[in-house]
Chains A and B, each alone.
Chain A
Amino acid sequence: MSILIDDSTRVIVQGITGRIGSAQTHWMLEYGTRVVGGVTPGKGGTNVEGVPVFDSVLEAVKETGANASVFFVPAAFVLDAFLETIDAGIKLIVVVPEHIPVQDVIKMRSYAIEKGVFALGPTTPGILSPGKGKMGIMPASLFAPGRVGIISRSGTLSYEFAGILSEVNVGQSTVVGMGADPVVLRNLADILELFEHDNDTDAVIVVGEVGGEQEEKAAGFISRRMTKPVAAYIAGRESPQGKRMGHAGAIVRGTAGTVVGKQEELKAAGVEILESPIHVAKWAKKNKLK
């Protein structure tokens, strides 16, 4: 098994007729993903890369038996399409686009959680399970099948970590981009829990970054619930402090979201801190991962 995506995953691509949607459909199909349909309102009846296009998500689900959706929809239309997708019964949604208003994301997150839908993003490269398939934009050449899980706030850094591991013949079970926005559709701890219960994952790498409190909250989950080894890298040591105004965030969190603060909390939870990405190779060797 892997998490979120496996042989039973039947994917529709929303915004499939757009420039990025059609290009990424090509790459997903080439990777062996079961892309069964696409949706662009007004373009029903056409096809992209041999995949049938429908006018609505409901129609696509009825015709193809789709159970997952990946979004390449313009930011302004994502909220509308997202609610439509949940109402059509899809249970896994990957929202790739960036620049979605936070007020929209808040509504999306609330509705997804209420309806028991697992959603990732916004601003995520998606999910990739080596040899099984991918939903999103991850470039396939960097990944190899294996037993290490990766969760990353940054898209490009998820590629970097997978690539470094693949070079030393350590493969990945699933690589998950959780999204880079201030509010994401699923928190880090929720994804860690999936890896903890996945029989094909032996250890997990968390790739975090300065700001917010995802890593701090995940540290609590790791110390209470994780039995598998976890390593973490936090980017942003050299990033200048933002020209911050307003205090409400820091006051309610009681933490400033610094790199050092995150590292200390994770370390206290038993996580091995990687000072630099390349150290992940040594960590994998030490833990005899493959």
Chain B
Amino acid sequence: MRLHEYEALDIFEQNRIPVPRRGVAGTMHEALQIAGEIGFPVMLKAQVLVGGRGLAGGIKTASTPEELKDMAEQLLSSDIKGLPVRKILVCEKAAVERELYLGITVDGYSGKPVIVVSTEGGMLIEETARTFPEKIASIHIDPSFGYYPYMARSLLRMLGLKEKLITPWSDVIGQLYNVAKRYEALITEINPLVVLPNGGLLAVDAVLEVDDSALSRVRFSLPDRIDRIENPLERRGREIGVTYVDLDGDIGLISSGAGLGMASMDIIGEKMKPANFLETGGGITADLLYRCMELIMMKPDLRAIFINVYGGINPIHEGAKGVVRYIHEHNVKIPIVAKALGNRQEETWEIFRSAGVHVVTETATEKAIDKLYELVGRG
């Protein structure tokens, strides 16, 4: 679950990481009031859960109340990469001597947390990583021992930063590690981490993504994950317990695994366009597939449906019953092709066929998509 910047800044502050004075505004008047308390100039930052916000025009500086009014109104009525801006963060504009980068993430390959730092904070950090790898330093953390302050000292020297930064630098890295651990973060990041003229550090931005699998044991009082999903179909997918991604095409897809779903999309994409990605996971029941049909059919102008499931952990014959019930109740007319293999496959095929579903019994998904293409072309 990705937190908004303002939520992450609150958590950083509770964990003694220095953050700017700030407030969250949902209207221009609220923004004006917050700015009045902080004093001009202020930064206005669109609160949307997407990367590359700065380059997309979501961050502005207002020097006067008049400027703020225009900018706040403009931001609050805009979209950033398709996401509506509902709130803006109004915060103190710090005096920047230098912009650093600090992030902690999980390195999947070594299976360890890793601290990453750079002397070149800001919007082009990934570009820097490619072109000037010497400006990046990182240290992996042994999970048996955790973080120790020597790591911060080493990172400081690896980057060639001034020794007088050592105290605030060690403090902020230690505290960010505590945040990563306590909130079970997949990633937590401060970019930029600003060096102030007085030699202190200030976290001017905050990224925190909590591991979804750990949400039940992380303690905080924030809105549920579901309220953060803007797309209504994707939100419905979350409600019924499947992964749904809304796409541009007109071929509906239900698959019983992420890899199989991605491969199905790849193959559909050769001649047609998928309308969605839907992955059921290992919990198929008749009711679940009924609800999956309901969900993918919410998309208007669907031309056909492809169901690609394996019966390993999933009772696919139960799933087929749900699909068939939906077809009968809603009198579905568009062609449906199903490839369902594994435990109890013959029984599953019978159920599908009883409702006019085209069953493909070969293993290769390409064969099923060929059939689908033929049916769509004909219809």
Contact = CB atoms under 8 A, between A and B. Distances in A.
Contacts of B108: 182-184, 212-214, 249
B364 A27 contact: no
Contacts of B343: 27, 139, 141
Nearest to B5: A245
Nearest to B106: A102
Interface in B237-288: 245, 247, 255-260, 262-263, 265-270, 274, 277, 281-282
A57 to B, nearest CB: 22
A16 interface: no
A155 B259 contact: yes
A281 B274 CA distance: 26
Contact of B269 (A103, A214, A238, A254): A238
B147 interface: no
A226 interface: no
Contacts of A142: 341-342, 363
Given A153-B259, A238-B265, A248 B187 contact: yes
A209 B262 CA distance: 8
A167 B361 CA distance: 11
B369 to A, nearest CB: 10
Interface in A238-269: 238-240, 243-254
Q: Which of A75, A156, A239, A249 has the most CB of B within 10 A?
A: A156
Given A125-B312, A217-B109, A235 B125 contact: no
Given A106-B143, A245-B2, A251-B125, A137 B103 contact: no
B291 to A, nearest CB: 19
A160 B365 contact: yes
B136 A251 contact: yes
Given A109-B111, A277-B366, A278-B364, A251 B118 contact: yes
A152 interface: yes
Interface in A138-169: 138-139, 141-142, 152-157, 159-160, 163-164, 166-167
B46 interface: no
Contact of A249 (B105, B118, B181, B265): B105
B75 interface: no
Interface residues of B, number: 78
Interface stretch (B14-22, B63-71, B209-217): B209-217
B362 interface: yes
B311 A139 contact: yes
Interface stretch (B91-99, B126-134, B151-159): B126-134
A248 B367 CA distance: 41
Assign chain A's interface to a size class: 35 or more
A212 B109 contact: yes
A176 to B, nearest CB: 14
Contacts of A287: none
Contact of B105 (A166, A187, A252): A252
Interface in B108-142: 108-109, 111-114, 116, 118, 125-126, 129-130, 133, 136, 138, 142
A246 B143 contact: no
Contacts of B365: 160, 277-278
A244 B213 contact: no
A276 B311 CA distance: 22
A107 B111 CA distance: 9
B111 A106 contact: yes
Contact of B310 (A139, A164, A207): A139
Contacts of B209: 245-246
Interface in A210-231: 210, 212-214, 217
A155 B312 contact: yes
A224 B198 CA distance: 52
Given A246-B207, A248-B114, A254-B129, A276 B109 contact: no
Contacts of A76: 216
B363 A160 contact: yes
Contact of B111 (A164, A183, A235, A245): A183
A217 B366 CA distance: 29
Given A102-B184, A249-B105, A235 B266 contact: yes
B27 interface: no
Contacts of B263: 157, 160, 233, 235, 277
B191 A247 contact: yes
B51 A251 contact: no
Q: Which of A142, A159, A209, A248 has the most CB of B within 10 A?
A: A248
A235 B112 CA distance: 26
B213 A100 contact: yes
B331 interface: no
A252 B107 CA distance: 8
A170 to B, nearest CB: 12
B106 A106 contact: yes
B257 A157 contact: yes
B364 A277 contact: yes
A101 B217 contact: yes
Nearest to B260: A156
7 contacts: A20-B313, A154-B257, A157-B259, A217-B109, A238-B265, A238-B268, A250-B129
Interface of B: 2, 49-51, 81, 101, 103-109, 111-114, 116, 118, 125-126, 129-130, 133, 136, 138, 142-144, 181, 184, 186-189, 191, 207, 209, 211-214, 216-217, 245, 247, 255-260, 262-263, 265-270, 274, 277, 281-282, 310-313, 341-343, 345, 362-367
Interface of A: 20, 24, 27, 75-76, 96, 98-103, 105-107, 109-110, 114, 125, 137-139, 141-142, 152-157, 159-160, 163-164, 166-167, 180, 182-184, 187, 207, 209-210, 212-214, 217, 233, 235-240, 243-254, 276-278, 281
10 A-B pairs closest in CB distance: A154-B259, A156-B257, A139-B342, A248-B103, A163-B363, A156-B260, A101-B214, A248-B105, A157-B259, A238-B269
Given A101-B217, A110-B144, 13 more contacts: A110-B112, A141-B341, A152-B259, A154-B258, A156-B256, A167-B364, A184-B111, A217-B109, A238-B262, A238-B265, A246-B188, A251-B103, A252-B116
